[in-house]
Amino acid sequence: AQSVSQHNHHVILSEAASLELGCNYSYGGTVNLFWYVQYPGQHLQLLLKYFSGDPLVKGIKGFEAEFIKSKFSFNLRKPSVQWSDTAEYFCAVNAYNQGGKLIFGQGTELSVKP
Amino acid sequence: EPEVTQTPSHQVTQMGQEVILRCVPISNHLYFYWYRQILGQKVEFLVSFYNNEISEKSEIFDDQFSVERPDGSNFTLKIRSTKLEDSAMYFCASSEGLENTGELFFGEGSRLTVL
């Protein structure tokens, strides 16, 4: 069965600090990988996705993620966070061509101090 | 920008009562989903729906749960007899189709509190 693990439950950073949120998945086949963000009081929004091709993907708001197949990882990065990045971040996986069923990680709450 | 809308945003109910959560997916989308998130836990897949039938469901989605697309716009989740452990945030999502597999658009969620 697929599973997704996010290493950090709660991360606290100061503005301008660099961010890296870890995500590992377990699944033997081809996967699609996603990072979703949920700002306080809002719905889940897609930050970025990886389907194929360049393993370094760029998303909205300066976020990027790198797919490392050998490590089953898809870590999210941002060189300089802002207070407005305060949110919960979810890594998600689905098996290629098996419909839209997403398996989510437990989420990482990011708090950015001004 | 088109969006998925959900009602109610918050519902409080007594154990054993029936609850219906409503969703209006994005109009040209073909695949519809319900997920839930118990406080402090992962977002969990409940069910996917395509072409007027369930395409996949999780172990959580037992006989107490049902989904329906009663008309061309609404997609509902019914919990027949709520239990305390059904308290959670329920998210509806929709996607265009398999060529965009996994790119789901989520609603803001309906918080269900069972007393």
Q: What is the pLDDT of residues B48-107, one digit of tens each?
A: 999 899 988 999 999 999 999 988 789 999 999 999 999 999 999 998 876 555 578 899
* Surface-to-core class of residue B64, CB atoms within 10 Å of its CB (0-12 exposed, 13-18 middle, 19+ buried): middle
Select the residue of B42, B43, B108 nearest A42 (Cβ to Cβ): B108
Q: Residue B35 and residue B4: Cα distance in Å, rounded? A: 13
Interface mutation target, options B4, B38, B42, B98, chain A, most CBs of A under 10 Å: B42
Chain A positions touching B42 (Cβ under 8 A) are: 104-107
Note whether B106 contacts A: Cβ–Cβ < 8 A: yes
Whether residue B36 contacts residue B44, with contact meaning beta carbons closer than 8 Å, is answered with yes
Note whether B108 contacts A: Cβ–Cβ < 8 A: yes
pLDDT confidence band for B26 (50 / 70 / 90)? very high
How far does A50 lie from chain B, in Å, by closest CA?
10
Q: Residue B57 and residue B62: Cα distance in Å, rounded? A: 9
Q: Which two tokens stand for residue A90?
A: 């979810």
Full pLDDT tens readout for chain A, 114 residues: 778 999 889 999 999 999 999 999 998 788 889 999 999 878 888 999 998 899 999 999 999 999 999 999 999 999 999 999 999 999 999 876 666 788 999 999 999 998
> What is the model's pLDDT at position A94?
85
> What is the model's pLDDT at position A42?
82
Interface mutation target, options B1, B94, B104, B111, chain A, most CBs of A under 10 Å: B104
Note whether B41 contacts A: Cβ–Cβ < 8 A: yes
> What is the model's pLDDT at position A51?
87
Note whether B110 contacts A: Cβ–Cβ < 8 A: no
